[in-house]
Amino acid sequence: MLGILQNLIINRRMSMQWGDEDRGKPVLLDGHRRILVSLKHGQASWPVTYVDLTPAEEIEALLTLDPLVALAQAETEKLAALLHEVSSGESAVQQLLAQLAEREGIIPPDIPEDHWQGMPEFEQEDKLGIQQIIMHFDTYEDVVAFAALLEQPITAQTKSLWYPPRQRGNAAVMVADDPLT
């Protein structure tokens, strides 16, 4: 026999969140079966890892440590209450808990396509044209000369132009007073 290959995990329960009856009473979180098997074979000492978890953290640890949890039949109401109490800053643990809740039917799966059922089709006309060109100007005089060539006003707020000139949809109103204001 190889003996115990994994440490037992014991929660010291020192947190003030534990009631007076439970605070300071160590609880075995993981390793129950290993102790039973090793006792049968005459082993009386075990490697131990001590932790100090709050009540919520202990529940979370029990849910993630015990592989038999996956094989057990869940009592939906009790599981729902338990999952409601547990939260974690670890996204992987939260994802595990969400998958458990979804698998047991406590939380229905979120299928994005379901949100679009019965919605009207939406089609939008392509308003970008066939080509876009980014232009650079060395001087303000070059901008004014280019605006004259296109016969379109160009201001400091101008983001785009059409050639030949036209306005589409909600395009900003072009100001012809001062081309650079």
* Cα(49)–Cα(10) distance, integer angstroms: 6
* Cα(94)–Cα(89) distance, integer angstroms: 8
**Are 99 and 83 in contact, with CB atoms under 8 Å apart?**
no
**Are 77 and 71 in contact, with CB atoms under 8 Å apart?**
no
Q: In terms of pLDDT, which residue wins out, 52 or 160? A: 52
User: Model confidence at 165, in pLDDT bands (50, 70, 90)?
Assistant: confident
Residues of the chain with CATH 3.90.1530: 1-71
Which of 36, 27, 94 minimizes the C-alpha distance to 63? 94
* Each residue's pLDDT tens digit, 68-114: 555 555 577 777 777 777 766 667 667 777 777 777 777 766 677 77
* Cα(181)–Cα(30) distance, integer angstroms: 72
* Cα(51)–Cα(141) distance, integer angstroms: 74
* Each residue's pLDDT tens digit, 7-47: 889 999 999 999 898 899 998 888 878 877 777 777 767 78
Amino acid at 45: S
* Cα(26)–Cα(166) distance, integer angstroms: 78
Whole-angstrom CA distances from 120 to 92, 111, 113 are 37, 18, 13
The answer regarding whether domain 1-71 maps to CATH 3.90.1530 reads yes
Tokens 């949809």 sit on residue: 169
